[in-house]
Amino acid sequence: MNPQSDPPVSADNGRPSPGQTLGAMWLYTVLRFGLFLALWGLLWLARVPGLLAATIALVLSIPLSYILLRKQRAKLAANLEARVGARQQQRHILDAQLAGEDARPGGTDPVGEDAAAGPAPRPVRPKRRAGGSAEQ
């Protein structure tokens, strides 16, 4: 992959920060709107009626933005993919810790044999009656 197309990362965990991802999303959105407005303006200058010009501009801006904004779309997709991947990895580690497993690559459990038995069952709470009266 080209070093210029790699998403910028935050220093703490190697994934793009929320601000970087939002910035890439806003840039892509503004460029798409700009392309639509430029096409609409050109059609308006060509004396095409308003609603028809807007419809034609919309229909033309979709494939043009797909072609012309490929770099921005790829950057946004890379940012989102890196954030989702890091989030899934953190969730996997947390799930493993909550299940009593060791999330380290070696998989050794420092607690010992008792952790393999699993967590103790939770007590069952009695159900509350709807519209309970004082004569129970």
d(CA 14, CA 119): 33
What integer pLDDT is reported at residue 16 of this predicted model?
Answer: 82
Give residues with Cβ within 8 angstroms of 28, minimum separation 6: 69, 72, 73, 76
CB 22 within 8 A of CB 76: no
4 within domain boundaries: no
CB 35 within 8 A of CB 66: no
6 within domain boundaries: no
What integer pLDDT is reported at residue 3 of this predicted model?
Answer: 47
What integer pLDDT is reported at residue 127 of this predicted model?
Answer: 67
d(CA 25, CA 34): 14
Q: How many domains, the chain?
A: 1
111 within domain boundaries: no
39 within domain boundaries: yes
What integer pLDDT is reported at residue 54 of this predicted model?
Answer: 95
114 within domain boundaries: no
Give residues with Cβ within 8 angstroms of 32, minimum separation 6: 61, 65, 69
Model confidence pLDDT, tens digit, residues 26-52: 999 999 999 999 999 999 999 999 999
What integer pLDDT is reported at residue 31 of this predicted model?
Answer: 96
33 within domain boundaries: yes
53 within domain boundaries: yes
Return the SS3 of 52: helix
Range(s) of the domain holding residue 72 = 16-105
- What one-letter code names the amino acid at 55? T
pLDDT under 70 in the chain at which residues? 1-14, 102-136
